[in-house]
């Protein structure tokens, strides 16, 4: 069959190559010349334009991003519809809203062509393995004509019905579930990492339990990686869940789970992770709650962050302090003998007030843009013992991880002993650092001394990370 193929991207390129390997005459076009050249090396023909690819084709395959691009290829700048012979098939394999697919099919029919609404699922891996799932709607005769092409690309072919839009509806429902399952998997994985459960163990447990899902098995391992290879991007689900919610609005259907998942993908995209693998929606949960690691008996180090306000000059400054005073609520003392100080608003607010009063800085001004971490020390009978040199030394690796994860532009270290161990780590990371006497230490520290130290840090921050 003579096939015009438009869209030689991450999925389109291996699909076109599979069609060539199956014996079809494939003429391909993409906006990137390198993609066209690659197809030519694989036995396909290079087209100079979308119209050129469509000229004389029995079937035109549109592997573009969305319905808008499909319409542009056919009737806009691409003008491919005018180059197709009467009765030719147009396969719209893009993800689009059902109503959009219906409108496009009507316009294609008016041009005396036949459209199959045939979105695909399976991602890059499925495209490379010719193991896609195709959800097709359109006339029976057209589906029969296209079936040899479908079989060269897909392991599963579903004919959903004769009406345009039904294929896109099936794909939309699949994407609803995919998005919700990925977000749910990320939420569960995040709960585990915040609690200190080994993630590989947690993944194995769920994989053999009733809570398992295909997305948990596939995306879960990638959630444990800092920068996994991209098989499907976060922004794909911003688009696809947007289609789901638009359809819900048209049909006056409440879709609360899809809406919640959409917010997490939107948040991840807004944080700058739109091009990352969709498993990295977990970064939105980490930004919301902090990554966190539970304190263990063998690691009396830094607790999770407990609060962050608006950033100073759109950046973060950390305050590193000690918790050694003795007025903790009993429920903050853990069985393993460490105080989870500042992880509770009762303690946090009291400390903000103490710090502000002692430093002479207004509470709101002082805490603007500050993420407060604390040293978690051993609990004695009187709950007033101080950290030892060994405690500080053992805390250093976790401090290094916190700095790497959150990348603050400045760290204000309170306490000379704290500074002796922590300041070198901060400086090695290239982060502005200032060590101050502790303003709540009860040593008669003057607020001017503390305030001068704070201002010195702000000056260093402005030099290392000037405001945009």
| Catalytic machinery residues | 171
Residues 6+ apart with CB under 8 A from 277: 222, 228, 229, 230, 231, 232, 233, 234
Burial of 251 (0-12, 13-18, 19+ CB in 10 A): exposed
Q: Rounded to an integer, what distance in angstroms lies between the CA atom of residue 279 and that of residue 227? A: 10
**Partners of 136 in the β-ladder:** 159
Q: Rounded to an integer, what distance in angstroms lies between the CA atom of residue 220 and that of residue 202? A: 10
E strand or H helix at 358: helix 345-359
Which of 121, 115, 120, 155 has the alpha carbon at shortest distance from 138?
115
Which of 82, 140, 69, 90 has the alpha carbon at shortest distance from 111?
82
Structural tokens at position 362: 């207004």
Determine the distance from the C-alpha atom of residue 150 to the mean position of all C-alpha atoms in its chain, rounded to a whole number. 32
Q: Rounded to an integer, what distance in angstroms lies between the CA atom of residue 411 and that of residue 396? A: 14
Determine the distance from the C-alpha atom of residue 419 to the mean position of all C-alpha atoms in its chain, rounded to a whole number. 35
The DSSP-derived string for 314-351 is TB-EEEEEE---S---GGGB-TTSBB-TTSSHHHHHHH
The DSSP-derived string for 179-211 is HHHHHHHHHHHHHHHHHT--HHHHHHHHHTSTT
């Amino acid at each position: 069959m003579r096939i015009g193929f438009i869209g030689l991207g991450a999925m389109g390129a291996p699909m076109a190559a599979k069609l060539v390997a199956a014996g079809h005459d494939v003429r391909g076009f993409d906006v990137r010349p390198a993609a066209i050249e690659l197809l030519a090396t694989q036995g396909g023909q290079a087209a100079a334009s979308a119209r050129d690819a469509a000229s004389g084709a029995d079937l035109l395959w549109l592997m573009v991003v969305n319905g808008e691009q499909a319409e542009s290829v056919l009737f806009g700048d691409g003008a491919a519809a005018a180059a197709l012979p009467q009765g030719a098939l147009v396969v719209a394999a893009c993800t689009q809203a059902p109503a959009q697919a219906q409108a496009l099919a009507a316009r294609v029919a008016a041009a005396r062509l036949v459209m199959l609404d045939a979105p695909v699922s399976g991602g890059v891996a499925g495209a490379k393995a010719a193991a896609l799932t195709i959800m097709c709607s359109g006339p029976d005769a057209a589906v029969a004509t296209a079936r040899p092409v479908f079989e060269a690309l897909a392991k599963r072919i579903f004919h959903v019905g004769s009406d345009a839009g039904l294929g896109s509806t099936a794909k939309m429902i699949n994407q609803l579930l995919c998005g919700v399952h990925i977000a749910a998997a990320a939420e569960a994985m995040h709960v585990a990492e915040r609690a200190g459960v080994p993630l590989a163990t947690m993944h194995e447990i769920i994989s053999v339990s009733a809570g398992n899902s295909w997305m948990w098995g596939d995306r879960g391992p990638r959630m444990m990686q800092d920068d996994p290879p991209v098989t499907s991007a976060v922004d794909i689900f911003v688009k696809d869940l947007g289609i789901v919610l638009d359809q819900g609005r048209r049909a006056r259907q409440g879709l609360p789970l899809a809406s919640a998942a959409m917010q997490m993908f939107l948040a991840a995209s807004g944080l700058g992770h739109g091009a990352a693998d969709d498993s990295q929606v977990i970064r939105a949960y980490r930004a919301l709650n902090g990554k966190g690691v539970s304190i263990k008996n063998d690691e009396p180090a830094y607790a999770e962050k407990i609060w962050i306000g608006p950033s100073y000059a759109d950046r973060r400054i950390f305050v590193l302090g000690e918790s050694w005073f003795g007025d903790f609520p009993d429920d903050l003392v853990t069985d393993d003998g460490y105080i989870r100080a500042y992880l509770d608003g009762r303690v946090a607010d009291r400390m903000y007030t103490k710090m502000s009063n002692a430093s002479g800085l207004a509470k709101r001004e002082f805490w603007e843009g500050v993420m407060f971490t604390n040293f978690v020390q051993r609990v004695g009978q009187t709950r007033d013992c101080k950290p030892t040199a060994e405690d500080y030394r053992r805390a250093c690796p976790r401090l290094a991880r916190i700095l790497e994860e959150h990348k603050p532009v400045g760290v204000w270290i309170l306490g000379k002993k704290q500074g002796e161990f922590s300041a070198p780590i901060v400086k090695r990371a290239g982060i502005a650092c200032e060590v101050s006497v502790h303003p709540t230490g009860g040593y008669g520290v003057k607020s001017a001394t503390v305030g001068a130290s704070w201002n010195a840090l702000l000056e260093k921050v402005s030099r290392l990370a000037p405001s945009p």
